[in-house]
Amino acid sequence: MQYKDESEEVDFSGLFPELTGEDKEEANMNMGNYIKTVTRIMNAAFSDPSRRATLAAIYLDLPRSDEKKIQELHAKRAARAADAPVPLDELMAETKARKPDLLLELVANPALAYKLAVGPEKRELLLILIEKGLATGKEVEFFLRKPFDVIAKRHLERRRETTTS
């Protein structure tokens, strides 16, 4: 699924066939809000010098699927001294070139999006993801909104399958 523009409405309900009726509508609305928020966080990080290092670190941790880009990156780094740091402007240029991949990675991994967010953005992400919470002493229990509850359930099921096989 490709997200094109913040003003464009996208139907995500096909990703969650197990949801019907109001749950499906709620899931679609929450996913749209989440993607808009993550997009805004990512764009703010590109324009804020104090947040670029975090964005670059997240980018460096991403799995690379484009073999040609990987080879180019390794060639550039090999041309420098082994212990020389990668200039941030070079890293940011490469990160911007992979902006759609980075957005998808941030959308797929709320923990990374939260790490990149600051102050009010973190609160906004939590308000989108969490429906209700309960704190008892040092323990916190929370419930995820639709479709994030479905995504978490799928993830846990896949994890259990891989650990048992």
The mean per-residue pLDDT over the stretch 14-20 comes to: 83
* pLDDT for residue 124 is more than 60: yes
Where along the chain do its domains lie? 16-129
Tell me if 103 sits within 8 A of 4, measured CB to CB. no
> Is pTM beyond 0.85 here?
no
| DSSP run (H or E) holding 25 | helix 21-47
The mean per-residue pLDDT over the stretch 7-31 comes to: 81
Closest CA to 131 of 117, 150, 107: 150
Residue 2: band (very low, low, confident or very high) from pLDDT cuts 50, 70, 90:
very low
| DSSP run (H or E) holding 144 | strand 139-144
The mean per-residue pLDDT over the stretch 56-67 comes to: 65
* pLDDT for residue 135 is more than 70: yes
* pLDDT for residue 117 is more than 80: yes
pLDDT for the residue 5: 47
Q: Who contacts 150 (Cβ-Cβ below 8 Å, separation ≥6)?
A: 16, 18, 19, 27
Closest CA to 99 of 151, 50, 41, 147: 41
